[in-house]
């Protein structure tokens, strides 16, 4: 490989994000226990795009493209693995997860400059954002797994609305969230009815891979 002297790299940003989608079913809008709760788009299509800043923090599942100016052999497209690394020619696995785009670019540039190139110009793009999902089960109209938008959070009430809202026998006082902790699953018990009625209550934020189960009334 020909080694070239080039200037210090600039970070090139890609544009992407998931988009919010309102559920067209009338039961969905009735499901939210408080007004103004939007839905989340279901399925694999992430919708439109929004700008991502150099401070965007890379996550497992993101697909990144690395280019080095005038070094085509070093171009690499790689999905960030669960171990937080991407694989590149010459330098192998590089841990980039939890780094911003800007910092990840510097890490790769410094590794190339250490043993292989002089002042390499590195461009780092996110070509596909990791898909995060949550699941809603139990007494909702449309149980299933739904995509989370990449640029917005999802509250408990929004998640229920996305799943079509409560069924006739749903008990909004009895909702559990199964969440994976560092070592084991956690079971969180919630009262969505009380949360919706308390203006001072902080919305409960759903995290990727959460499983929400809506209980039923004891008839």
Structural domain includes residue 72: no
Q: Write out the residue range of the structural domain in which residue 141 sits.
A: 131-216
Give the ranges where 116-174 is alpha helix by DSSP (H): 156-162
Overall pTM surpassing 0.85 (yes/no): no
Contact between 133 and 146 (Cβ < 8 Å): yes
Phi, psi of 71 (to 5 degrees): -130, 75
Structural domain includes residue 208: yes
Give the pLDDT band of residue 166 (cuts 50, 70, 90): very high
Over residues 78-130, the pLDDT tens digits come to: 999 888 899 989 899 999 988 888 899 999 999 999 989 999 999 998 888 88
pLDDT at 52: 59
CATH code at 153?
Answer: 3.10.560.10
Structural domain includes residue 79: no
Cα–Cα distance, 219 to 198 (Å, whole number):
26
Structural domain includes residue 198: yes
Structural domain includes residue 186: yes
Exposed / middle / buried, residue 10 (Cβ in 10 Å: 0-12, 13-18, 19+): middle
Count of structural domains within the chain = 1
Structural domain includes residue 147: yes
pLDDT at 181: 73
Strand 170-180 with 154-155, pairing: unpaired
Give the pLDDT band of residue 161 (cuts 50, 70, 90): very high
């Amino acid at each position: 490989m020909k080694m070239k002297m080039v200037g210090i790299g600039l970070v090139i940003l890609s544009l992407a994000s998931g988009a919010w989608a309102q559920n067209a079913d009338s039961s969905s809008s009735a499901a939210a226990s408080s007004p103004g709760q939007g839905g989340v788009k279901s399925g694999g299509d992430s919708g439109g795009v929004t700008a991502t800043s150099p401070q965007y923090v890379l996550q497992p599942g993101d697909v990144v493209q690395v280019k080095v100016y005038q070094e085509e052999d070093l171009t690499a497209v790689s999905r960030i693995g669960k171990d937080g690394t991407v694989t590149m020619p010459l330098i192998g696995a590089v841990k980039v997860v939890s780094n911003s785009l800007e910092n990840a670019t510097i890490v790769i540039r410094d590794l190339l400059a250490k043993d292989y190139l002089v002042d390499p110009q590195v461009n780092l793009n996110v070509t596909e954002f990791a898909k995060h999902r949550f699941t809603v089960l139990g007494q909702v109209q449309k149980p299933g797994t739904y995509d989370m938008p990449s640029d917005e959070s999802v509250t408990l009430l929004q998640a229920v609305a996305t799943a079509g809202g409560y069924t006739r026998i749903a008990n909004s006082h009895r909702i559990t969230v199964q969440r994976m902790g560092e070592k084991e699953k956690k079971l969180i018990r919630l009262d969505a009815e009380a949360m919706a009625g308390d203006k001072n209550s902080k919305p409960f934020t759903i995290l990727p891979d959460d499983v929400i189960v809506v209980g039923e009334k004891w008839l």
